[in-house]
Amino acid sequence: MARKSYTIQTKLQVIKKLRENAGNICKTAREAGITTKMLREWKRKEDVYLSSTSKKTTTRIGSGRRVFSTELETQLTEWLTNERRVNKRIISYNTLRAKALELINNLNLDLKASNSWIQKFMVRNKFSTRKITSVGQEDNRPISVIKSQIYSYFDTIELKFVGINPSMIYNMDETPMYIDMMNSRTISFKGEKNTEVLSTGHQKTRFTVVITISTAGTILKTLVILKNLKKVPKCHIPSNIHVITSKSGTMDKEIMKSWINTCLKISGPFRNLEKSILIMDSFGSHKDESVLQLLKKNNYDPIIIPPRTTSFLQPLDVLINAPFKAYMKQEWEHWQLNGVKEYTIGGYRKKPSWNLILQFISNSLLRLSEDTISKSFHLCGIKDGKVNLDYNNLNEKLISILNNTTLTGEEYSSLFEDSSNEDLLEINH
């Protein structure tokens, strides 16, 4: 909740209003838009406000104080900046206070590091509590190794792109989905202690969507893998979707082969004569020898993205999966508000039917524009069927890695910070 300060004059006016209300604290606080605790505190300090020598009505008690210790402020800020921007650690309020107390003890300062002091420290130094939007695994590889992998990858695709129709370059990736595609945030009332929402109880019931996009901005038929079903449900399946069932609900080599034959394979002489490129991550079933042979049989030359680089080298990860999931959440939210409400014998609301879920997927895919899909390849260094490492076209993570020459392995996580194009150096490859 945003913190607000009040002038001495305002506080005295509220105290005067309290007397007019015959000392009714609840009524006065409600009329003034403040808490009863705040009003009691003001009443207790009335003499302090009256004896204030300040002639400016805008003076605020307690504001404008100097920093207690510049050295403490500097050390705590540097520590917090390093832990967040370099090491990407989770820093809670209690962790920050514990570190502050440690530094206070080392500097022999007389300070308690109260909750109020911590709050003001965060405000002074522009820190705030934020929602975590991305989680990655720690990686201690030297930056030189990572850059070497990236350049080797670009060398590979540059050679394989020779003679390839620029529109025949594809990228495939699996993304997990859930029946209840719920947002993690909601508009609600200020100050409420609990923000409750209702669902059908299937926010952890998972299935997999396999999306394939091309540099031309198209989306091939999408595979949906349903988990723990013996057979495909009897329902209307949109023309841009193929459905298969699996006990695990994830990709394996047999499902890969099925995907190649039902989604990737295009009938007609044009498909059989035109050589294409398929870019995939290093998931085990993608690299299976029988899968690679089937791809080559269908004139697809597979390229495997180096491990732990898909967040900035795979087009689907960079620009497509996030909006696709956002569209799915919008579809689910619209159904929750406006859909037909059916209930179980026990009185719980039923989940959306598979017919609806498949329609959600189809609608969300159709909302992805050709320009957005093409741009996803540009951001990953692929443009017009060639390798293009122009910083104006690359995603920020990739720019940071290619530009950085000083980071150690432990600082790998800091590669994902914003960079200014004006400060970027040319790539010497």
What's the number of domains the chain is made of? 3
56 token code pair = 């400016």
Sign of the alpha-carbon torsion through 44, 48, 50, 55: negative
Whole-number pLDDT of residue 271 = 56
Q: Cβ of 348: how many Cβ atoms within 10 Å?
A: 11
Q: Are 395 and 379 in contact (CB under 8 A)?
A: yes
Residue 392 has a pLDDT of 87
Is residue 420 included in any domain, yes or no?
A: no
Residues 34 and 177 in one domain: no
Tens-digit pLDDT profile for residues 47-65: 888 876 455 544 454 444 5
- Please report whether residue 364 resides in a domain: yes
d(CA 44, CA 38): 10
The answer to whether residues 285 and 338 belong to one domain is yes
Residues 261, 307 within the same domain = yes
55 shares its domain with 77: no
301/160 same-domain check: yes
Q: Does 384 lie in the same domain as 362?
A: yes
Tokens in use for 291? 């899968």
Domain for residue 135, yes or no?
no
The whole-number pLDDT of residue 337 equals 92
Is 200 within 8 Å of 180 (Cβ atoms)?
A: yes
The confidence score (pLDDT) of residue 304 equals: 97
pLDDT in tens, 330-361: 999 999 999 999 999 999 999 999 999 999 99
Judge if 110 and 249 occupy the same domain: no
Count of CB atoms within 10 A of residue 390's CB?
10
Q: In this structure, what CATH number is given to the domain that contains residue 47?
A: 1.10.10.10
Q: How many percent of the chain have pLDDT more than 90?
A: 59
Long-range contacts of 281-289 (CB under 8 A, 24+ apart): 281/173, 281/305, 281/310, 281/314, 282/306, 282/307, 283/174, 283/251, 285/251, 285/252, 285/253, 285/255, 285/256, 286/251, 286/256, 288/253, 288/256
Whichever domain contains 258, its CATH number is 3.30.420.10
Note whether 171 and 46 are same-domain residues: no
Last residue of a domain, one of 40, 64, 88: 64
**In this structure, is residue 422 part of a structural domain?**
no
CA dist., res. 225 & res. 227, Å (int): 6
> Which residue do the tokens 């993205």 mark?
305
pLDDT at residue 3, rounded to an integer:
60
Regarding pTM above 0.75, the answer is no
What is the distance between the alpha carbons of residues 240 and 223, in angstroms, rounded to a whole number?
9
395 located within any domain: no
Q: Is the CB of residue 305 less than 8 Å from the CB of residue 270?
A: no
Ranges of the chain with pLDDT below 70: 1-3, 52-66, 134, 136-137, 266-273, 405-429
CA of residue 172 relative to chain centroid, distance: 20
* Claim to verify: residue 9 and residue 78 sit in the same structural domain: no
Pick the closest to residue 88 from 124, 133, 44, 27 (CA basis). Answer: 133
Q: Quick one: DSSP state of residue 425?
A: P
Residue 189 placed within a domain:
no
Q: Is residue 290 a part of any domain in this protein?
A: yes
Shared domain check, 82 and 179: no
CA dihedral 69, 75, 78, 83 (to 10 degrees): -120
Question: Range of 38's domain?
Answer: 1-64
Does 136 reside within a domain? Answer: no
Whether residues 234 and 363 fall in one domain: yes
List strand residue ranges (DSSP E) for 8-104, in order: none
What pLDDT is recorded for position 192?
Answer: 80
Dist. CA 36–CA 212, nearest whole Å: 59
Alpha helices in 90-196 (DSSP H): 93-106, 115-124, 143-160
Based on the fold, state whether residues 156 and 218 are members of the same structural domain.
Answer: yes
Show which of 124, 153, 169 is a domain's final residue: 124
User: Final residue of a domain: which of 64, 94, 109?
Assistant: 64
